[in-house]
Structure 1
Amino acid sequence: MVSIGPARGLSADAAAEPAAGDDLAEAARSASGEWPDRALGLARRLGTAAPFPGEGRTAELWELLTRLGAADLSVARVVEPHLDALAILRQAGLGQPEAGSVWGVFAAEGPGARLEARRDPEGWRLHGTKPWCSLAGGLSHAVVTAHTGPETRRAFAVRLRHPGVAVRDGGWQALGLPGIPSGPVEFDAVPAEPVGPDGWYLERPGFAWGGIGVAAVWHGGALGVARRLWAAATERTPDQIALAHLGSADLALGTARAALAGAAAAVDAGQAEGAAGALLALRARGTVAAAAETVLAVVDHALGPAPLAFEAEHAQRVADLRLYLRQHHAERDTAALGRSLLEAGERPW
């Protein structure tokens, strides 16, 4: 079975480790240099120090994710699910994962792929295929959702280095996040430890909080792209159109920052559970996604084709952010927000 130790506390010294923005940004940039070992090492280090959501320091956690995203989205894409997995284990009342482990969270479903959890005399085992398992070949463990019946699913903690786990080539061709392949993983009678009862993974308040944490990374990615616009504006005297582009980017980023700050305050105040938490997540994620897409468009218009064609760092940032933003389901998530507003039964504005 998966080794889960006693619940860990968060010491004041450890919590202070990721607080220095410049040091964290430099660590993220350095982590992208020897891929993916350094990124996985940074995830391990931050996993011992970062705050947990909903425990009074959610804004610090999301600011950490924002800073990582602004420095390097691929590195942030490694760290964010590791921190999310640790939070999930904590929310389930489980303990600290074994030392040196790096975790992912695999909860997506897809056509033609089904992962089932079956119980035998020795415990739970996973059988089948899980799609969209990002960087599975580099991780040691994951929180994975699996079907326990025709209409039920449950989360499980699994060791990805078990001989029954096979990471398959999913044909990853993305220009964005090229170092984070996200393909199928096959499980053949792999031991698994339950993480909460059936349905708990989606029903827990932390599900909404984790989704907003992803949005904090999007915000960071947008900041990284927008800083190229700022550099251009300071290199030569901007005309009225350039000033308008700069102002538009600032408005979008400020809206995203305010949405994340307000969401963090609500989470720590106990106002983001159940339907309220789901509504908050839809609003925050939608606001940040829209702001990031605005920044991408504004920077494209302001700078033209040259940075995309001749500056590898900027072109990669843009490609990474465009792909990462597709974790937001665009109009479908906006429709879900509208439905949630109606179901709340009160006029929202």
Structure 2
Amino acid sequence: MSDPRDSMTLPRLTEEGQADSAVARALDAAADMDGFGTDVAATLDWAVMVGATRPLDHSAIDDWSLLASVAGRDVAAARILEPHLDALDILGQARREGCEAALESIGAGTGSSWGVFAAEGPGLRLEAHRDRDGWRLSGTKPWCSLAQQLTHALVTAWDGDERRLFAVALRTPEVDAHAGPWHARGLVPVVSAPVDFTSAAAVPVGEAGWYLRRPGFARGGIGVAACWWGGAVALRGALLDAARRPGADQLSRVHLARVDTALWNARLALRSAAEAIDADPDPALLAGRVRAVVAAAVETTLAESARALGPLPLVADEPHARRVADLQIYLRQHHGERDLARIGTSLSEGRGAW
């Protein structure tokens, strides 16, 4: 299988020849690591370093290129990096809007590793209440990735009838991160399990409802899609190798072409969104469209690579097998028909003209 860093397979959202020092630094540091993407502690340390060395004025295309390139090297590493960078961006946006959180009160600093826990689950509810000492969180939050390894997280909790974002320290007696259930065959080290909060001290980030209304919410959602795309580009490399082998027939080139055109289309969607996101009047609809395009391209890639390559790389090529399993789990963050229904609702209500 081709090295994902090879010029033919490196996920590239920018044009050939454009210097991207942040991507180069991140991949160079990763190349010197043992257990990149599998050793969570080491990969988190790397993610903190990447977040600390990003340019302050990074653009959407800078962020998405970085995430795609990391996913091209290792999908799990991108899954670890993405929420950390998202949290830093959220905190930065709050600071620019005059809502800087008092992070020092929960022991957060430049060496903190961050997650973003915003999922909801049936029968589970995390409540925020205020006492004389400040804000407290009580209840259970589902789908909290790496909660046992992270130092801090941004967490949505219910403040009355609205969800509000809070920063919280995770390594305290008031926070109990579950070890499972987690029987995943993909993203094995990225355990996503419930966390119980018992009157845990928290710091508000923005006002009630701000997290979901902020312009950066859509940008973060597309960042996840950039990870999906970057991981799939490495599978394109495997198909390219197969089509170049002596004796390769036309079918191998058909599979390659289907994947290539799907991923090329997704790349165009990501590039177009990077140019439009900050000025788009309906960024949520833009994000929904881009995620749908990218998700479809990755589904095509997974299906075509399975048909073209057969079972051998799934059982004999550990990096390939892990990449496929990781992408299959990661892609489930796309809600499929539910997300398409939201797009259709927007269109039926007269929004989203081309």
- The 1-side partners of 2:76 and 2:26 are apart by 18
Q: 1:21: Cα distance to partner?
A: 7.5
State whether structure 2 residue 341 is matched by structure 1 residue 331: no
Give the gaps of 5 or more residues in structure 1: 1-14
State whether structure 2 residue 200 is matched by structure 1 residue 194: no
Moved over 4 A (4+): 27-30
Alignment-derived partner of residue 89 in structure 1? 91
Q: 1:25: Cα distance to partner?
A: 5.9
TM-score by length of 2: 0.87
State whether structure 2 residue 139 is matched by structure 1 residue 128: yes
- The 1-side partners of 2:34 and 2:267 are apart by 23
Instruction: Give yes or no for contact 2:83–2:116 (8 Å, CA) kept in 1.
Output: yes
Q: 1:346: Cα distance to partner?
A: 6.3
- The 2-side partners of 1:145 and 1:227 are apart by 39
Structure-2 change in CA distance of 1:259 and 1:347 (3 Å): closer
Q: 1:161: Cα distance to partner?
A: 0.9
- The 1-side partners of 2:63 and 2:32 are apart by 16
- The 2-side partners of 1:116 and 1:216 are apart by 32
- The 2-side partners of 1:166 and 1:22 are apart by 34
Coordinate RMSD, CA, aligned:
1.9
Q: 1:223: Cα distance to partner?
A: 1.1
Aligned with residue 50 of structure 1, among 48, 54, 64: 54
- The 2-side partners of 1:29 and 1:68 are apart by 15
Tell me the SS of whatever aligns to 2:349: helix
Deviations 1:116-141 (A, max 9, x none): 00000111000111000001000000
Alignment-derived partner of residue 283 in structure 1? 289
Instruction: Give yes or no for contact 2:288–2:343 (8 Å, CA) kept in 1.
Output: yes
Give the gaps of 5 or more residues in structure 2: 1-19
Instruction: Give yes or no for contact 2:285–2:352 (8 Å, CA) kept in 1.
Output: no
Alignment-derived partner of residue 10 in structure 2? none
Structure-2 change in CA distance of 1:296 and 1:163 (3 Å): same
Counterpart mapping for 1:105-116 below 5 A: 105-116=116-127
Alignment-derived partner of residue 64 in structure 2? 62
Counterpart mapping for 1:108-257 below 5 A: 108-149=119-160, 151-257=161-267
Alignment-derived partner of residue 31 in structure 2? 26
Instruction: Give yes or no for contact 2:266–2:294 (8 Å, CA) kept in 1.
Output: yes
Structure-2 change in CA distance of 1:28 and 1:342 (3 Å): farther
Q: How many residues align?
A: 326
- Tell me the amino acid that sits aligned with residue 100 of structure 1: G
Aligned with residue 301 of structure 1, among 303, 307, 317: 307
Structure-2 change in CA distance of 1:124 and 1:159 (3 Å): same
Q: Which shows bigger deviation, 308-317 or 182-191?
A: 308-317
- The 1-side partners of 2:335 and 2:285 are apart by 15
Tell me the SS of whatever aligns to 1:321: helix
Q: 1:260: Cα distance to partner?
A: 0.6
Tell me the SS of whatever aligns to 2:148: helix
Tell me the SS of whatever aligns to 2:124: coil
Structure-2 change in CA distance of 1:306 and 1:131 (3 Å): same
TM-score by length of 1: 0.88
Structure-2 change in CA distance of 1:220 and 1:336 (3 Å): same
Percent identical residues: 50
Alignment-derived partner of residue 279 in structure 2? 271
Structure-2 change in CA distance of 1:345 and 1:163 (3 Å): closer
Q: 1:108: Cα distance to partner?
A: 0.1
